[in-house]
Amino acid sequence: MKKLMQEVRAFAEERDWDQFHTPKNLSMALAVEAAEIMEHFQWLTPSESRDLPEEKRKAVGDEIGDVLLYLVRLADKLGLDPVVLATQKLEANRLKYPADQVRGSARKYTEYERGV
């Protein structure tokens, strides 16, 4: 991840784009790219969304790449390590959603007894 972050930073610097890469602008670009992923799934059935034709899978993959690049750039600009943050969030979610209590349920953690 650190190598990717360095590559993305160098890419932006080579193009003098750092001036545009404020956290506000990067977060907005990230949201736009995430919406572009959603656009590929709009109006598909659940089954269709799982079995995309190869051309559509590639297009979704391109958008996933864009999301990751903007996310990495945003984390870099804020001095955050996305892998550390994701690991911490996963641990917090383990506590919120104990597997033995939530297995097979899509309910939010506030909707069940956690034995806390």
All domains in the chain, ordered by first residue: 2-80 (1.10.287.1080), 82-116 (no CATH)
State residue 67's pLDDT score: 98
State residue 111's pLDDT score: 85
Owner of token pair 């949201």: 31
Q: Which residues contact 18 (CB under 8 A, 6 or more apart)?
A: 12
Q: Are 60 and 90 in contact (CB under 8 A)?
A: no
Q: What is the mean pLDDT of residues 10-24?
A: 98
State residue 114's pLDDT score: 60
Residue 115 pLDDT exceeds 70: no
Residue 24 pLDDT exceeds 80: yes
Q: Which helix (H) or strand (E) holds 32?
A: helix 23-41
Residue 66 pLDDT exceeds 60: yes
